[in-house]
Amino acid sequence: MAKKIAVVLSGCGNQDGAEITESVSTLLALSECDANYQLYAPDMSFSAKNFLTGKPSGETRNVLQESARIARGQIRALAELDPADFDAVIFPGCFGAALNLCNWGEAGAQCHVQPDVERVIQEFYRLEKPIGAICIAPALIARVLGHRGVTVTLGKESGASAEVLKTGAHHEVCAVDDFITDRENRIVSTPAYMYDGAKPFAVYSGIRRAVREIIEMA
């Protein structure tokens, strides 16, 4: 029977939303595994950026509406996600995960997590269903489940990985085209664009391998 996977997006674009290559790579890998998937995003506002300048654009946009660009309109509000209906959940990364799903980008290990995001992570963990996290999203998982001693990767040792350790989570170094599995806690993570300037195919390779691990574990 085909596995059913929830994918949680955080907008559209690396500077203020979900990284597009990471998101599309996730969907390609899931479809290669013949998995069924449903995309979700929180229905909430955020302050958009001008991607040409990297500065605030002055616009307020909606995370769900922006995520719908990647999802080709086939997306639901995160409040509707029932973990009992799925075999696993995956969080693509970049700044949307660190600014919209939580405020890790501002507060690090002391960040606050968006309530539906925390609910989803806690419930998948309670049901012993796999949780996948890409790029900076493993830090989000660490914030929610660090007290459980979970293991994640952000790629290289860095200021961000030092913050992960403050949550109680463990951090392992990992190449861009590889992944780390915490089999005891059923968490799979891959660094993707935590390696600045990584080639898209290397990012895809790591995500593809991580997704196949998640499907096998689910």
Helices within the chain (DSSP H only): 20-32, 63-70, 95-99, 104-107, 115-126, 137-145, 159-166, 200-217
Give strand pairing partners of 40.
8, 76
Q: What is the CA radius of gyration of the chain?
A: 15
Alpha-carbon gap, residue 108 to 115, rounded angstroms: 17
Active site residue 135: yes
Alpha-carbon gap, residue 138 to 171, rounded angstroms: 10
Q: Answer yes or no: are the C-beta atoms of 180 and 172 closer than 8 Å.
A: yes
From 102, 111, 135, 174, the catalytic residue: 135
Residues identified as active-site: 135
